[in-house]
Amino acid sequence: MRSRTLDDVLAAAGSLLGALGLVWVLYENLLPTSGPLGFFVSWFVVFVLMYAGVTAMRHPRTVMADRVVSAVVHAFAGLVGLSVLLVIGYTAVRGAEALVHINFFTSDLSSAGPLDPLTVGGVLHALVGTLVEIMIAVVITLPLGIGTAVYLNEVGGRLSRVVRTVVEAMTALPSIVAGLFVLTTVVLMAGFQRSGLAAALAISVMMLPIIARSAEVVLRVVPGGLREASLALGASQWQTVWRVVLPTARPALATALILGIARGIGETSPVLLTAGYTTYLGFDPTSGPMVSLPLMTYQLSRSSEQVDQARAFGAATVLLLVVLLLFVVARVVARSKTGR
């Protein structure tokens, strides 16, 4: 891309406009098909063919193939970025009516009904519930996840292959299964009520494999020379792990934790089955239902009232911003470690 000249840029732009005109004529006058999806797919295919032909007239075949593949990759990357922007934009526009009110962030829904205006009620109880549940889940999954990674990477043994297989399989575990597991074992069999603690346990099931798998990859890239130097100085294996390996990998382990939190904070199915629902602000995760941002979004989106719909999209916007912020923090932490 850096070696391209103005002629190359004009060739790409001309191919794009030429493909647009050709497909427009075909769709309007010749082809019996219709619809925006078919139009854009046809436009893209014709653009690739036209761009390949124009490039082949001026460059060797290898350069032509490189330019075409580069155009396809950039097109798909732009499509992904556009999709994300559309999701965020649509959600934010639908929720803007609620987001402009300060009370939306400073009050709960205990005094708000479906017919009350947006100046009454907010998402404070959902924000607190999300924070409490995630904090409990982090307390559970952080030592278990890092401990599993240390076992797989530093200790090994006959069971390491089985543990690694289980961890990899759990990364693809449907969230509804985690919710059903906690609902059956903790709520129904053990007799605990639906609460923030039960929801945190379900979220932990989803976060644990993410943290364990990411932490294992992180520990694997720690230079072996550091371990050998520590052992040569007389340190034991556990002293080497505790004083050399883990401190070296600390920034990357923080990234693994943030990725796990980003996964857990957006879970809806486990929370729906285990947390219950309430409109009141509560800080005790062991007593009574506790709502989170995904659960509040789900419940309010089922309402036919426009006010509740606006509140649902407002809560969804807050959730999206929190998740995006977590990913940005993860990138910053990772970049500070690698220097890139």
Domain assignment present for residue 108? The answer is no
The 10s digit of each residue's pLDDT in 29-60 is 776 666 787 788 888 888 999 988 888 888 88
CA 147 – CA 310 distance, rounded (Å):
43
Instruction: Tell whether 161 and 301 lie within a shared domain.
Output: yes
Instruction: Tell whether 203 and 79 lie within a shared domain.
Output: no
Instruction: Tell whether 145 and 66 lie within a shared domain.
Output: no
Report the CATH number at residue 257.
1.10.3720.10
Domain assignment present for residue 106? The answer is no
Domain assignment present for residue 104? The answer is no
pLDDT at position 4 over 70: no
Mean per-residue pLDDT, 207-230:
90
Least confidently predicted of 128-137, 218-227, 245-254, 330-339: 330-339
User: Among the three residues 59, 82, 99, which one is the final residue of a domain in this structure?
Assistant: 99
Q: What percent of the chain has pLDDT over 90?
A: 39
Query: 255 lies in which domain range?
Result: 124-338
- Counted domains in the chain: 2
Instruction: Tell whether 150 and 35 lie within a shared domain.
Output: no
Instruction: Tell whether 13 and 81 lie within a shared domain.
Output: yes
- Confidence tier at 27 by pLDDT (50, 70, 90): confident
Instruction: Tell whether 295 and 174 lie within a shared domain.
Output: yes
State the pLDDT at residue 254: 87
Domain assignment present for residue 114? The answer is no
CA torsion sign for 314, 320, 326, 329 is: negative
Q: Model pTM? A: 0.80
State the pLDDT at residue 1: 45
Q: Which residues contact 62 (CB under 8 A, 6 or more apart)?
A: none
Instruction: Tell whether 87 and 141 lie within a shared domain.
Output: no
Q: What crossing angle do the helices spanning 196-220 and 160-170 adopt, rounded to 10°?
A: 120
State the pLDDT at residue 339: 52
The Cα-based distances of 139 to 175, 198, 223, 288, 319 in angstroms read: 20, 14, 28, 21, 21
Instruction: Tell whether 60 and 141 lie within a shared domain.
Output: no
Instruction: Tell whether 74 and 128 lie within a shared domain.
Output: no
Mean pLDDT across the chain: 88
User: Among the three residues 84, 99, 114, which one is the final residue of a domain in this structure?
Assistant: 99
Domain assignment present for residue 119? The answer is no
According to the per-residue pLDDT averaged within each range, which of 51-65, 108-122, 152-166, 286-300 is highest? 286-300
User: Among the three residues 31, 65, 99, which one is the final residue of a domain in this structure?
Assistant: 99
State the pLDDT at residue 19: 87
